[in-house]
Structure 1
């Protein structure tokens, strides 16, 4: 069993070494003040004036200066190469939710790998801030209090089906698949209710972060 990296009933901000805007990091920390870094994300956190509680990874990206600043007690070295640094971190966090920054925006392969991790590690629920968007794995029941006209994109990470209310183009009966139908650039007509089976990534404009966070941390209802 992997040792727990961070434990909190609230939220964890997890920072990686990809593209990070200061505003994204600050808004994540306001909602999830416990900061954890994945490998070179430690350098980014320090550059913004924030000290991670822990840093984890194979440490092929973290600088010597960041290592020295954090000290040995904050560094968790995991040498295996069968998982990404995002996966190493997410699988060791026990929290109400995770807000992930710095896992998209530079290398496409890293972004795709991060989405793969979010599908494979369904707990704790995780929202990735990625450019103009927030992205998260749809729970079996998702209720979003969205304004009419809000962009709602659904991208399958495997075979998936869903039923919806509140979407301009309903998705009932569609067999989603990465090599088949996808649901990008749909639009809310008001509050959205989505029931789904199979891995669907939901993408919303970043100003919908709080609605997304409330939705994925809500107790499951019938």
Structure 2
């Protein structure tokens, strides 16, 4: 049976207000320290996965006791990050949407890897978003509806050398049949005019970031 939505809590910056994003029917997958965070806030992860090298043995035992299922891998021999393992586990359940929380932080390498990992969901025709306290990110290769979630800005960044045929509707600064190339800042700091706007493109891979200071 296809899950409607899977929420991944991973080991970056985590805040109690992230718990407000959870819905009753969500499946919850936690990566490494994300599992401990959930348990400390009274939430049971359906699956906890990772090498768990960022928590103590006592905390690992707590995660083992309080999680629906725990998957532990060797920290040296593994080829994937904990987040990628959680993401692959989510893909195996074929949800309609994956939301990643705690996937950004002080490690820029991990943050960028987690942005790029959303491509894997698109290849499986699964929508995906990444959210933290100041940003909400998603990808499109065709058309996306951007809804007002309380962020001030909407920025567009190409994740391929160029993105062509960009059309914006419902934005303060409209674009028509525009092209964005890597290194250009034309798509930075736009704003919605109302409750939603539409971004459509002809080719390429476009990162849409809603943000606030």
Counterpart of 1:87 (choices 57, 62, 84) is 84
Per the alignment, residue 132 of structure 2 pairs with: 130
Tell me by how many angstroms 1:121 deviates.
Answer: 3.0
Tell me by how many angstroms 1:150 deviates.
Answer: 5.1
Tell me by how many angstroms 1:173 deviates.
Answer: 3.9
Q: How many residues align?
A: 198
Per the alignment, residue 98 of structure 2 pairs with: 98
Distance 1:32 1:170, change over 3 A: farther
CA deviation string 1:55-114 (max 9, x = no partner): 112333343233212338722234554432222222221212122111113322221111
Name the CA distance, whole Å, in 2 between partners of 1:112 and 1:182: 21
Tell me by how many angstroms 1:16 deviates.
Answer: 0.7
Name the CA distance, whole Å, in 1 between partners of 2:55 and 2:81: 14
User: What are the ranges of 5 or more consecutive residues in structure 1 without an aligned counterpart?
Assistant: 1-6, 207-222
Name the CA distance, whole Å, in 2 between partners of 1:157 and 1:20: 26
Contact (CA 8 Å) 2:52, 2:60: kept in 1 or not? no
Name the CA distance, whole Å, in 2 between partners of 1:150 and 1:129: 15
Tell me by how many angstroms 1:15 deviates.
Answer: 0.3
Contact (CA 8 Å) 1:11, 1:33: kept in 2 or not? yes
Per the alignment, residue 199 of structure 2 pairs with: 194
Per the alignment, residue 77 of structure 1 pairs with: 72
Contact (CA 8 Å) 1:160, 1:199: kept in 2 or not? yes
List aligned pairs for 1:1-222, cutoff 5 A.
8-24=2-18, 26-30=19-23, 33-71=26-64, 74-79=69-74, 81-93=78-90, 94-122=94-122, 123=124, 124-144=126-146, 146=148, 151-158=153-160, 159-161=162-164, 162-190=166-194, 191-196=196-201, 197-205=203-211
Q: Please give the root-mean-square deviation of Cα atoms over the aligned residues, in Å.
A: 2.7
Tell me by how many angstroms 1:31 deviates.
Answer: 6.2
CA deviation string 1:6-55 (max 9, x = no partner): x752212210111111112x222136532110122112112222121111
Per the alignment, residue 217 of structure 1 pairs with: none
Name the CA distance, whole Å, in 2 between partners of 1:31 and 1:138: 27
The runs of 4+ residues in structure 1 deviating greater than 6 Å are: none
Distance 1:103 1:140, change over 3 A: same
